[in-house]
């Protein structure tokens, strides 16, 4: 069987947080987090996505975060830049700049809030794919955007050379199966706790939230599944499940992951409004889960 389009992005990609301190992007901490990911063996870094609080970044910050990640990674890991928008013109501007800076691919979220028709989705992604030379990963997350990109639209998009991947975050295993069975696109899980089920039907990895915290554990799961060692993959899945579940279940992403990273000394935990801190009750639940998993404390945030 020939390799799928986008298969060079198989494995663990991490949707990295954007660290803030005193209301500003903390670029020194961002560089530390990139080094942490590279040391763990993370295949690809995904800045300025949902986990990176991209809706709260100014245009200048959005551009600079992507540039900083590309420069810090320096070819040691791929960079899939989050450059989507509900405005096609804005998505084009962001993506052109990221491509010029050296991004390896672009993550393109479905246009949110304005809820286009399926033809609107198609024309939006087509315009981006035909404008830049880097691969496009279509990000289907209707819980955030308000509308789902239907399988038939993704099938149409798969005929475009520049569309190579789908980040599948609908929560529907049937949707994942349909895309894999009818296109040559690489499918990446957009939900940590569904990574193993999706890989069992042919997905090739994950764009992970919990990977900010425990990338090595996610790599073990993904590699075992990719090698067909599903007994080992199941063990890794069940060990990770509670932690993965809380990253999206306790509060809206990235509130829990930033709280967890603060607890182990790897981030300030700051969020930008309208995102607010995890409440004390959920914080206690998260701390207990971290302790049960055995996430090691790092040096205190200074």
Nearest to 15 by CA among 193, 162, 167, 164: 167
Start-to-end CA span in the chain (Å): 51
Catalytic positions are 139, 167
Nearest to 271 by CA among 263, 282, 262: 262
202 φψ region: left (φ > 0), alpha (ψ -120 to 50), beta (else)? left
- What does residue 205 show for φ and ψ, rounded to 5 degrees? 160, -160
DSSP state of 112: P
Q: What are phi and psi of 229, to 5 degrees?
A: -90, 75
> Which parts of the chain fold into alpha helices (H)?
27-40, 59-73, 88-101, 118-129, 142-145, 151-157, 173-182, 195-200, 215-226, 230-249, 255-263, 280-293
Asked whether the bond before 217 is cis by omega within 30 degrees of 0, the reply is no
- 3-state SS, residue 162: coil
The secondary structure of residue 106, as a DSSP letter, is E
- Local structure of 34: helix, strand or coil: helix
142 SS3 class: helix
User: Please, are residues 255 and 278 in contact by the beta-carbon 8 Å criterion?
Assistant: yes
Which of 140, 16, 154 is CA-nearest to residue 79?
A: 16
Q: Output the CA torsion sign for 88, 93, 98, 99.
A: positive
């Amino acid at each position: 069987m020939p390799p799928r389009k986008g298969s060079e992005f198989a494995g663990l990609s991490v949707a990295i947080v954007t660290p803030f301190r005193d209301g500003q992007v903390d670029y020194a901490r961002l560089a530390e987090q990139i080094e942490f990911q590279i040391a763990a063996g993370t295949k690809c870094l995904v800045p300025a996505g949902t986990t990176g609080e991209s809706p709260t970044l100014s245009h200048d910050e959005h551009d600079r975060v992507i540039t900083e990640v590309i420069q810090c990674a320096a070819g040691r890991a791929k960079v899939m830049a989050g450059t989507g928008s509900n405005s096609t013109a804005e998505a084009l501007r962001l993506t052109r700049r990221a491509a010029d800076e050296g991004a390896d691919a672009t993550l393109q979220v479905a246009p949110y809030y304005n809820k286009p028709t399926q033809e609107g989705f198609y024309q939006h992604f087509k315009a981006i794919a035909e404008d830049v030379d880097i691969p496009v990963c279509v990000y289907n997350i209707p819980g955030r955007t308000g509308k789902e990109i239907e399988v038939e639209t993704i099938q149409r998009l798969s005929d475009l050379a520049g569309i190579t991947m789908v980040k599948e975050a609908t929560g529907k295993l049937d949707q994942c199966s349909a895309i894999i069975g009818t296109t040559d696109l690489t499918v990446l899980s957009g939900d940590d706790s569904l990574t193993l089920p999706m890989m069992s039907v042919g997905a090739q990895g994950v764009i992970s939230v919990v990977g900010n915290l425990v990338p090595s554990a996610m790599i073990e799961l993904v590699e075992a599944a990719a090698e067909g060692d599903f007994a080992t993959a199941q063990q890794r899945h069940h060990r990770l499940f509670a932690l993965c579940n809380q990253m999206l279940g306790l509060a809206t992403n990235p509130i829990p992951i930033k709280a967890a990273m603060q607890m182990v000394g790897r981030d300030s935990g700051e969020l930008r409004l309208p995102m607010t801190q995890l409440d004390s009750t959920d914080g206690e639940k998260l701390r207990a889960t971290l302790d049960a998993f055995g996430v090691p404390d790092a040096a205190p945030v200074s």
